[in-house]
Every structure is written in C-alpha cells, then in structure tokens.
C-alpha cells in the first residue's frame, strides 16, 4: 500500500544538468544528443546563482528555458522509444510500482481519502477468503501514441499511451534562486477503467465511503 497527502502529482524529480531521467525511469541512459542540447541551457540557469539573481530575472524564461528543455525531453523520449518499445510500460511502472498495490491519498484540507486499486499481476484480493471480490485487471501501456505540448502551455507536455494511460509532465521553479535545478511534476491525466477509485469523505467525527 502506498500513502501520500492528497494531490494529483504522483512523482516529482529535481531536474538539473546531471539528472538522467532515462536511466532512472526506463533504464536507458539519455543520449549524447540530449546532453549536448540541454547543458548550455542549464549553464544559463546556473549563471543566476553565481550572480545572485532570481530565475524570473531571465528574459522569456518559459519560451527560452522551459520550452527548450521540454523539446529536448520530447526528442529524447522518441529516440529511446525507437530502440526500446517497452519504454511506455517502464515509465508507468516507475510511477506506480512494479507490484500490485492499493494506493491511498488524503489530506485534512480536503477531508477526503481516495483509495485506488492497481492490479496488474492478478494478485490483489486473490486469496481464498476474498475470491468473490476480485479487482479488475489493469493492462500496462505498450505503445507511445503522442508526446507534445499541452495546448496553450509553455511548461507542460502530455504523453498519450494506449490502454487508457495519459500522463503530463510539468517543469517549474524549484525555488526563488537556482539551487539543484528545476522541478519536474508528473501526474496521470487519464487512467484505465480497471483502476478502481473509492472516495471516502470524512469529518473529524465520522468517515463515509
């Protein structure tokens, strides 16, 4: 079981000139083409720290920094997909787990707890005493259909996969001044119907699912 505060972000990585998302997410190091593209961009970002400036002082930071980094990200994903067709499956497994699980998310401000079932390997509720309450089987993605910028967004791209999976990747400031880089927020925009969601709304005195 996985627990977290209620939010739509499922993972968040610090993005810097040394962050190899390919190796971390799908066990395929980023290419030389990718690094030759992004390192000059990060060099410009890091100059803010040495000069004691805020990143917001950079002109056109979204169009010249965020969009350039995300374009390099898109190109690299497509390059990796050409050599490894299991890339969609590996990315989703990185985000949700390689094991079947129940995922819960909740927070006091929302007074809501959400429980989701992720049953890929047919192990959830398969014990004899629960054989009548089997959860739907979820199919992992096998194809990358599209990866492009979200309409009217300069800092967010969406990845459309088959079998009902749809992800978004948003890049943003990690802090007011440059430290370890930017932040990369990842969230599910669409999930297979086989992932069941149960909402439990509550007050301090009661719980209702």
Q: How high is the pLDDT of residue 7? A: 45
Q: Which of 104, 102, 132, 105 minimizes the C-alpha distance to 119? A: 102
End-to-end Cα, the chain, rounded Å: 18
Q: How high is the pLDDT of residue 100? A: 55
Q: How high is the pLDDT of residue 198? A: 60
Are 188 and 164 spatial neighbours (Cβ–Cβ below 8 Å)?
no
Q: How high is the pLDDT of residue 96? A: 78
| Strand pairing report for 101-107 and 112-118 | antiparallel
pLDDT tens string 50-104: 666 666 666 677 777 899 999 999 999 999 999 999 999 999 888 875 555 566 6
Q: Give the 3-state secondary structure of residue 139.
A: coil
Q: How high is the pLDDT of residue 135? A: 56
Q: Which residues of the chain have pLDDT under 50?
A: 1-8, 128-132, 176-180
């Amino acid at each position: 079981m996985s627990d977290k505060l209620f939010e739509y972000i499922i993972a968040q990585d610090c993005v810097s000139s040394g962050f190899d998302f390919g190796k971390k997410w799908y066990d395929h190091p980023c290419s030389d083409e990718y690094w030759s593209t992004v390192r000059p961009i990060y060099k410009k970002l890091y100059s803010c720290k040495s000069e004691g400036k805020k990143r917001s002082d950079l002109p056109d930071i979204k169009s010249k920094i965020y969009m350039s980094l995300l374009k390099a990200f898109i190109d690299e994903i497509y390059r990796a997909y050409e050599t490894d067709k299991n890339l969609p499956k590996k990315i989703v497994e990185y985000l949700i787990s390689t094991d079947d699980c129940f995922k819960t998310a909740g927070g006091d401000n929302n007074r809501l707890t959400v429980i989701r079932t992720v049953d890929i390997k047919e192990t959830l509720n398969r014990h004899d005493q629960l054989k009548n309450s089997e959860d739907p089987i979820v199919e992992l993605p096998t194809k990358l259909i599209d990866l492009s910028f979200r309409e009217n967004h300069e800092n967010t791209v969406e990845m459309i996969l088959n079998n009902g999976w749809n992800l978004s990747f948003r890049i943003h400031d990690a802090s007011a001044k440059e430290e370890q880089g930017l932040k990369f927020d990842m969230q599910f925009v669409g999930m297979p119907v086989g992932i069941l969601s149960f909402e439990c709304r509550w007050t301090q005195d009661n719980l209702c699912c």
